[in-house]
Amino acid sequence: MIGKELISQMKKLRDVERAKDIRQLTYSIFPGPHCPLMGAMLAVRSIKDACMMVVGTEECTYYTKSTTMNNMFGGMDSPCFSVVMNYHDVAFGSHKKIEEAFAELMSEYTPKAVFLISTCLGEIIGDDIDAMAETFSKQYGIHVAPVHTEHFKSENHIPGIANAVTACLHMMKDMPKGNGINVLGQRFGSFSSTELFRVLSKAGCEVGMALPGGCSVSQIETAASAKVNIVVDATALELAKGMKESFGTPYVRFERFAAPADIFKAYTELFGYLEASLPSEVEDLHKQAVETVGDAKPSLKNVRYIYGNTPLPTYEFNAFMVSMGMIPQLIQTVELPEKPHEYLDYILENSDPYVVKSANIAPLQYVYDEMKPHLYLGHEYALRLRQKGISLVRTDQASAMLGFEVTQVVLSELTRAAAEAKELEKERAS
């Protein structure tokens, strides 16, 4: 495989009109993206008093349960149940089997909510899990939320998270508004360890529901009592919109932004909805972050990078790096925001990167030889990158952060990696 040939098949980000137009680097991929089923599992696993029932092939059900059996995800007794489809079910539908399994589940366990998850096969043959969920809900008097996770309609696991989170809307009841907030889209770590939580706590603001990060079914039921929803990840945007429409709860997008200006804007908007003055601590943190940006700029100017996958929002983070004088050579993503878009436009005004679909690291090895980036952001083999003179930027530590702490940790890692890349360049030259 020749790097030049691969690059010649890539599209420039500026030439892509729809997400569908983003090309796969090669026709065969490895490891490929995760599927929405895994996304749904990741979202549901941390909701207390709830369980999931996955309907699919042995593979889908086996891999989902075996992942949750990891102690990190709940251990052997994790509340993940399965119904395995066979040829008979494909021919005649799996309704009866699901009904039987649901009865078994309810006779042995007492979940307050069940997420009924359908996978590729059920969606192809048209099993109506929405209707089944509605029936079970009435029959057993608990919440039963249908979640659709067919992978052939999406590029990765993100829609699975979004679908599971959005499905929670129907569990919520209208409530009198209080002074608290909900955190929507808390996928990594605990909200209580973030800067944003610290600032809100000092301001006397109470956190109601953090979905999906460790909330309970009762917290979901009463989530409409919050004064404002904070959307910390785009996967919860549909839920936030739904709650605004159903209960009038406003929302603020406070994702894992890297640029101090974006974070400051989110803080300002949030405290506006809370009808409270912006704490002086936020002003101080903003000032410190702006200073760090100024200090880091000289060492990051003209640093070339390939963007893989990070816990930060792709376009905001890339726009931030471009604003630092860095040069994006290739961005791997499956998303394309609707144009005009603030961050996308900024990237295109100041750089001209290629774009390909993510999660296909095998052929990238040949691309590195041609593009010769200084940095790679995302999951890759660090040693292999070093051999090619590339430094790996690790941003996973930022996944449990929100606020200016993200700017600080990201800049610290970028400058470290840029310095390492220069050393590697010297070593290779000698």
Partner 1 sequence: MSLYRFLPAPSHRMAVMWTLMSVKDAIVLEYGPAGTTHYSMGLFGSMGLSNENRLFTTHISEDDVVMGDVSRLENAIVELDASFKPKVIFVMESGVTSVIGTDIHGVCKHIQEKVSAHVISVGEGGLRGDYATGLCEAYKTIVSQLPVDGAQQQQTINILGASAGSYRITSDVWELKDLFNRAFGLRVGVCLGLETPVKEIQQMSGASLNVALRTEAIPCAEILKDRFGTPFVYGSPYGYSGTLSWLKEIGVALGVDINEIVEETLAQKDQESRQNLMPGMMGGIRQFNATIVGDYDLLRGISAFLKEAGITHVNMICSHGLKDVTHKAEGITYFETEKERLMFLKSINNHLLLADDVSMHVAPKDNMGVCVSFPFSKHPQVATHLPIMGERGADMLLELVERFMARPVTSTNK
> Least distance in Å: CB of 305 to partner 1?
24
> Least distance in Å: CB of 238 to partner 1?
20
x/- letters, 61..90, toward partner 1 (CB under 8 A): xxxxxxx-xx-----xx---xxxxxxx--x
Return the sign of the alpha-carbon dihedral for residues 338, 344, 349, 354.
negative
> Least distance in Å: CB of 60 to partner 1?
7
Q: H helices within 93-235, ranges in order? A: 95-108, 120-125, 129-140, 158-166, 195-202, 217-221
The label of the residue with tokens 């959005």 reads 166
* Distance between first and last Cα of the chain: 28
- Candidates 22, 33, 211, 220; binder of partner 1 (CB under 8 A) is 33
Contact status, residue 328 vs residue 10, Cβ threshold 8 Å: no
Q: Does 430 bind partner 1 (CB under 8 A)?
A: no
> Least distance in Å: CB of 341 to partner 1?
24
- Candidates 58, 284, 295, 369; binder of partner 1 (CB under 8 A) is 58
Q: Does 26 bind partner 1 (CB under 8 A)?
A: yes
> Least distance in Å: CB of 58 to partner 1?
4
Q: How far apart are CA 39 and CA 46, in angstroms?
A: 12
- Candidates 13, 38, 200, 215; binder of partner 1 (CB under 8 A) is 38
Q: Does 152 bind partner 1 (CB under 8 A)?
A: yes
- Candidates 124, 131, 382, 419; binder of partner 1 (CB under 8 A) is 124
Q: Does 203 bind partner 1 (CB under 8 A)?
A: no
**Distant-in-sequence, close-in-space partners of 8: CB < 8 Å, separation ≥ 6:** none
Tell me whether residue 151 or residue 227 sits nearer to partner 1 (CB atom). Answer: 151
> Least distance in Å: CB of 22 to partner 1?
12
Within residues 339-368, the interface with partner 1 by CB under 8 A covers 359, 362-363
Tell me whether residue 105 or residue 183 sits nearer to partner 1 (CB atom). Answer: 105
Question: What is the spatial order of strands in the sheet that 11-12 belongs to?
Answer: 11-12, 354-356, 327-332, 304-307, 375-377, 391-393
DSSP single-letter state for residue 335: -
Nearest Cα to Cα of residue 162 among 186, 182, 185, 146: 185
Nearest Cα to Cα of residue 424 among 384, 365, 381: 384
Q: How far apart are CA 25 and CA 33, in angstroms?
A: 13
Q: Does 280 bind partner 1 (CB under 8 A)?
A: no
Query: What is the Cα gyration radius of the chain?
Result: 23
| CA dihedral of 174, 177, 178, 184, whole degrees rounded to 10 | 60
> Least distance in Å: CB of 51 to partner 1?
10
Q: Does 153 bind partner 1 (CB under 8 A)?
A: yes
Tell me whether residue 120 or residue 303 sits nearer to partner 1 (CB atom). Answer: 120
Q: How far apart are CA 375 and CA 316, in angstroms?
A: 18
The label of the residue with tokens 């999951």 reads 379
Q: Does 291 bind partner 1 (CB under 8 A)?
A: no
- Candidates 100, 130, 206, 245; binder of partner 1 (CB under 8 A) is 100
- The residue ranges that bind partner 1 (CB under 8 A) are 1, 24, 26-38, 57-67, 69-70, 76-77, 81-87, 90, 97-98, 100-101, 104-105, 108, 120-121, 124-125, 150-153, 155, 157, 359, 362-363
